[in-house]
Amino acid sequence: MKTIQEKLPSKEFIRVHRSYIVPFSKIESIRNKTIFLSGKEIPVGGIYEEDLFNLFNNK
């Protein structure tokens, strides 16, 4: 996953779980530690939570 993440534009994609990298612009909502994206629920891993919320608050 790290190799894939390095190839993606960091301003457009964010890693939110050890198994998930998502396009930031496609996030519909976040509730608790769950991202809702195109009808799917993606869990937010504990070590990625701070980065996600920092990015979300800065947009």
Q: Domain range for residue 40?
A: 2-58
**DSSP alpha helices (H): ranges in the chain?**
2-7, 46-58
Q: What is the number of domains present in the chain?
A: 1
Overall average pLDDT of the 35-57 stretch: 91
Residue 59 has pLDDT above 90, yes or no: no
* Tens digits of residue pLDDT in 13-22: 999 999 999 9
* Tens digits of residue pLDDT in 20-40: 999 999 999 999 999 999 999
The Cα 7–Cα 5 span in angstroms is 5
